[in-house]
């Protein structure tokens, strides 16, 4: 897999879709705030639009966005459950340490170890779900079926066609690029959040196109 080409194509797609088209840019900023709209727009990209789609048919876009949100939310349920358990354990551990002080070091280490173990499990589960979801959302858009979004045999088979190592590396590259941009923006005092909001449409188009190309790299479905 040519990772450089994947990044270049996705960046070019985002640039062509927004630079000089300031009305679309502004509308996408608003859509990012009212998230079902931007999710519906992303669905159009997942379906293989060769150029950034037009922003129109807002009612249909909103409904499509809600559907995609439901898929993502269902995938997030295990993460939410584990996260709540970790937060609960952290709270209990904190209260126990404040009450017990340093009377029982072994008990304190066990409590802290339990919290750390829960956090590690949370990270591992989040990564696994993220790997599956990256293909599931595009498959959902292409097949227009909730069942296909959770057809794990087909999803894993599709990832296998891409090659798992290449798939993993491609996703890591995407996460690093987006993460670095977001961190840089948030490090800018006072206006960092505003700058991030302004460039968010570029990141949205880049990520959606990137995942689409990654999905298509497996060949015809």
Write down the mean pLDDT value for the chain: 91
What's residue 100's pLDDT?
Answer: 59
What's residue 36's pLDDT?
Answer: 95
Query: Is residue 39 a contact partner of residue 78, using CB atoms and an 8 Å limit?
Result: no
* Domain-located, residue 221: no
Which range of residues forms the domain containing residue 82?
3-216
Total tally of structural domains belonging to the chain: 1
- Read off the pLDDT band of 104 (50, 70, 90): low
pTM: 0.90
* Domain-located, residue 189: yes
Matching residue, tokens 């460039």: 199
pLDDT tens per residue across span 36-71: 999 999 999 999 988 999 889 999 999 999 999 999
Rounded mean pLDDT of 10-15? 95
């Amino acid at each position: 897999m040519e990772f450089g080409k994947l990044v270049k194509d996705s960046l070019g797609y985002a640039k062509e879709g927004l630079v000089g088209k300031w009305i679309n840019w502004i509308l996408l900023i608003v859509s990012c705030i009212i998230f079902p709209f931007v999710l519906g727009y992303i669905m159009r990209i997942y379906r293989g639009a060769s150029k950034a789609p037009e922003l129109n048919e807002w009612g249909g876009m909103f409904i499509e966005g809600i559907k995609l949100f439901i898929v993502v939310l269902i995938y997030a349920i295990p993460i939410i459950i584990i996260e709540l358990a970790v937060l609960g354990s952290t709270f209990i551990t904190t209260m126990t340490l404040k009450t017990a002080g340093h009377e029982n070091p072994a008990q304190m280490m066990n409590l802290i170890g339990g919290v750390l173990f829960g956090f590690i499990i949370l990270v591992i589960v989040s990564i696994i779900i993220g790997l599956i979801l990256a293909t599931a959302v595009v498959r959902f858009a292409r097949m227009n079926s909730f069942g296909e979004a959770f057809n794990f045999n087909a999803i894993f088979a599709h990832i296998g066609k891409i090659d798992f190592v290449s798939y993993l590396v491609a996703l890591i590259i995407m996460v690093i690029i987006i993460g670095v941009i977001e961190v840089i923006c948030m490090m800018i005092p006072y206006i960092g959040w505003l700058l991030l909001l302004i460039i968010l449409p570029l990141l949205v188009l880049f990520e959606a196109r990137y995942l689409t190309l990654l999905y298509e790299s497996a060949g015809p479905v």
